[in-house]
Amino acid sequence: MRYNAATIEMNMRRWDIFCRVVDNYGDIGVCWRLARQLAEDHGADVRLWVDDLASFSKLCPSISTDATEQHVGSIEVRRWTDDFPSVDVAEVVVEAFACELPASYIDAMARREVAPVWINLEYLSAEGWVEDCHRLASPRSNSTLTKHFFFPGFTPRTGGLPRERRLLADRAAFDSAAEAEFWSSLGTPGRSADETRISLFCYENTALPELLRTWSEGPCAVRLLVTPGAATAQVQRWFGREFPGTGPLETGFLTAHALPFLPQAAFDRLLWACDVNFVRGEDSFVRAQWAQRPFVWQIYPQAENVHLAKLDAFLDRYLAELKPPSMAEAVRRCWQAWNFDGDIGAGWLDFAENRQSVERHGKVWASQLDQAGNLANNLVCFVSGK
Ligand code: TRH
């Protein structure tokens, strides 16, 4: 959808975003994108409070892990510690993923002559109830403050997905020359005509050994780009040896390369440059959709299998328009095998056979997602209406 970025009114210019890193990188990954999009696309003055600068510095290497206050571009980054300082309250306050604002800050919000707009940014889900809860107000008892629930999502009745204003144009401009330059910047060989290039970002996954075996047996050459952490550990375990310095591990049709942790913008390019992406969690899952490449998602496992319904809800939406139904079923089987230790060998072979059609579908899907607007723009519009 082509729209102008919503303008922030002068009296809504200052935004505080609060982020607690529960585990992994998704919390800070989403908050960092939102902070940048609000600042760069909408001109907001953003102050980002983060309790774990070490995780943050992985995806943004210019972050100093021991600074209490620092700037990255126009964004002020503050270390969030228990002894919260006395600061001016912003006009818009984003509490990411119910991270619980400091009590002293909430008191200061309540003392403001005009109450700030208080947003609780929720986790992403494709489930139907999200549309009913999006934008709901939750007034605080004995207070002038009201918290609003803001749900990212896949339909126009949700908050949409994080997406930079220029993202689709940049993605479209990423041609084979840009791709070759990207591979060379990683020290990875250029492409050969007959290989399938796959990125792997996953949690510990019991289906992975079988998938590696399937890839190693062909019939096509697979060049696997393995991200640090659980993916690298499992690949090394399967090969029975460590990556030899910067060199690959090889067996049969499979060649695996270990990647360093990439800055977030380079991670996005990795997803653009691969033929298929295995992603996880929330933020890389969204980026795989904007990358418009076939992808396989490992959902973040939750207690009591709550994630089963979330996975199905997404598959129902994502596959609704993929025809014929047998192709949609092939994608579903592969994803379910990957998440629930099913027959990933057969699942992969079916998925790979339908790859070109799934890729075409990914482009249609991305333009459909674009109809929901993007999260930062939708937030600015919502806040302006308050
Ligand atoms: O790290 P994750 O597993 O995060 C998860 C999910 O967000 C989950 O929903 C949440 O509940 C849990 O954290 C606490 O996966 P995710 O969401 O894909 O976040 C990874 C981020 O790291 C994303 O912004 C991309 C970024 N990244 C890089 O920038 N460079 C890299 O090399 C890699 C591998 C990731």
* Ligand 1 midpoint to CA 266 (Å): 14
Contact 22 CB / ligand 1 (< 6 Å): yes
Burial class, 232, CB count within 10 angstroms (exposed 0-12 / middle 13-18 / buried 19+)? middle
For residue 90, count other CB atoms closer than 10 A to its CB.
Answer: 22
- Please, what are the averages of pLDDT over each run of 10 residues along the chain (386 residues)? 68 94 96 98 97 98 98 98 96 97 97 96 97 94 91 97 96 97 96 95 98 97 98 98 95 98 98 98 98 98 89 98 95 97 96 97 96 93 90
Burial class, 86, CB count within 10 angstroms (exposed 0-12 / middle 13-18 / buried 19+)? exposed
Looking at residue 24, the DSSP 8-state letter turns out to be S
Angle at 314 between CA 291 and CA 214, to 5 degrees: 65
Where residue 160 falls (left for φ over 0; alpha for ψ -120 to 50; beta otherwise) is left
Note the pLDDT of residue 240: 98
Contact 227 CB / ligand 1 (< 6 Å): yes
Note the pLDDT of residue 2: 45
Residue in 25, 262, 286 to alter for ligand 1 test, most ligand atoms within 8 A of Cβ:
25
Q: How far is CA 227 from CA 202, 203, 260, 264, in A?
A: 8, 11, 7, 13
* Ligand 1 midpoint to CA 352 (Å): 25
Contact 300 CB / ligand 1 (< 6 Å): yes
Contact 269 CB / ligand 1 (< 6 Å): no
Q: Which atom of ligand 1 is nearest to the CA of 123?
A: 9
C-alpha 85/C-alpha 14 separation (Å) is 18
Question: What are the structural domain ranges in the chain?
Answer: 10-164+372-384, 187-259+274-370
C-alpha 71/C-alpha 196 separation (Å) is 40
> Looking at domain 187-259+274-370, does it have CATH number 3.40.50?
yes
Note the pLDDT of residue 364: 97
pTM of the model: 0.97
3-state secondary structure of 78: strand
Cβ-Cβ contacts under 8 Å for 304 (sequence gap 6 or more): none
27 part of the active site: yes
Question: Which one from 16, 40, 122, 282 is the annotated catalytic residue?
Answer: 282
Residue pair 380/172 in contact by the 8 Å Cβ criterion: no
Q: Which atom of ligand 1 is nearest to the CA of 228?
A: 34
Backbone angles phi, psi at 374, to 5 degrees: -115, 160
Q: Which atom of ligand 1 is nearest to the CA of 203?
A: 3
Angle at 231 between CA 226 and CA 232, to 5 degrees: 65
Note the pLDDT of residue 8: 83
Residue pair 331/319 in contact by the 8 Å Cβ criterion: yes
Residue closest via CA to ligand 1's atom 28 equals 264
